[in-house]
Amino acid sequence: MTHAPILPGQTIGVLGGGQLGRMMALAARRMGYRIVVLDPNPRCPTAQVSDGVVVGALDDHEAAILLAKQVDVVTLDTEHVPAEILDAIEQYAPVRPGPSVLRTIQDRQVQKQFLDQLGVPQAAWAPVDSELGLRASLEAFGGQGIIKHRRSGYDGKGQLRVDKISETSNAWSWLRGTEAVIEDIVPFTREISAVIARSVLGEVRAFPIAENVHRKHILHTTRAPAQLAVEASQRVNDIALTIAEALHHVGVLAVEMFELPSGELLVNEIAPRTHNSGHFTWGACATSQFEQHVRAICGLRLADPRMLSGSVMVNLLGDLWAKGTPAWRTVIDRPEAHLHLYGKVAPAPGRKMGHVLLLDDDTDRALEVAEQLIQSLTVS
């Protein structure tokens, strides 16, 4: 099939107006594209840097059609858009990634079945269909596990760690009938992620692999490049490429993985979009994940993802706003630090408000500086 490229001057539609859409819009507008976003909030982070806004919920068919009719291609800021919405708008504009990708990813159970079928290693898991079944799974996993809602979870939301079989009944009540899966607890030594892009033309490019630290289930820091042997990096990228090909994915795709003490890799989850652990690419790489996503969905050749500098990214959560606006001079006065704020007006604990990118080839030092910065912003 031939795909006419979508060129600068044409319009990209985005479903969802969070920070990922915003950073993609900034990259796209630099290249000369127009952006129209669908979001319930007319002042959402993406709308602030867009040419147009359709105000509506992400499950509002009519609003999504209104958006699709005024753009040349539609893409996503979140995988939690109902796949039926994508089905409904495909006749007006190409949707990249398409509905079949979302159907596989947005339900954790379907995602896990897909990975099993592909033969990609992941933590032992089981569907949670009954209290008895939950107890049996916990027994099989040695008494511990993490229950995760099948849909709409992110940043640890909709998750419950269970540490004893005697907690089964409470855990089952916590679910209140919500569909879920349970996973064995993985004794990982490190969390890493692959961020790759696959274009409409089938071209594939991988960014340097990232090493992530989470706090309270939310990404805290990313170090890139990860301190991995060449052979391990190759395995990480091979897994991500296998997944992207099997999904016929178009756009950026991130795969989060656990590394075991043996060096074995287990996939934790797939995000069919740009990803927080790829934010370092904007500043540390020749091409950002956001520009690469634009190129992939517009049918352009992918650009050079090579790293120009070692980097550490640290997330700025709403908790830092507890005593008012943080003292940004602490960040701005450091020559290696780059402040990104997402234009969110309502800080809340755990809410991602921005990040700082530290460019330093000595990434151990940059990790220390990241902690110092967060500490000084916390007390300021």
Instruction: Rule CB under 6 A: say whether 151 interacts with ligand AMP.
Output: no
- Choice from 167, 191, 259, 360 touching ligand AMP (CB under 6 A): 191
Among the listed residues 127, 156, 318, 343, the single contact to ligand AMP using CB under 6 A: 156
Structure tokens at 211: 């090493």
Please report how close the Cβ of residue 339 comes to ligand AMP at its closest, in angstroms: 25
Judged by CB under 6 A, the stretch of 57-65, 135-143, 184-192, 366-374 that binds ligand AMP is 184-192
CA atoms within 13 A on the CB side of 352: 23
Please identify, among the stretches 94-102, 135-143, 179-187, 285-293, the one whose residues bind ligand AMP according to the rule CB under 6 A: 179-187
Query: Which residues 6+ apart lie within 8 Å of 242 measured at CB?
Result: 118, 120
Residue with tokens 């090493």: 211
If one asks whether residue 79 binds ligand AMP (CB under 6 A), the answer comes out as no
Binding flag, residue 268, ligand AMP (CB under 6 A): yes
Mention every residue, 6+ apart, whose C-beta is less than 8 A from residue 26: 49, 290
Those residues with Cβ within 8 angstroms of residue 221's Cβ, 6 or more apart along the chain or in another chain: 212, 213, 312, 313, 314, 315, 367, 370
Rule CB under 6 A: is residue 160 a binding residue for ligand AMP? no
Binding-site size, ligand AMP (CB under 6 A)? 12
CA pair distance 337, 346, nearest whole angstrom: 24
Binding flag, residue 143, ligand AMP (CB under 6 A) = no
Per-position x/- string for 197-216, each x denoting binding to ligand AMP as judged by CB under 6 A, each - no binding? -----------------x--
Cα(265)–Cα(201) distance, rounded to whole angstroms? Answer: 29
269 binds ligand AMP (CB under 6 A): yes
What is the SS3 assignment for 371?
Answer: helix
Residues that bind ligand AMP (CB under 6 A): 123, 146, 156, 183, 185-186, 191, 214, 217, 256, 268-269
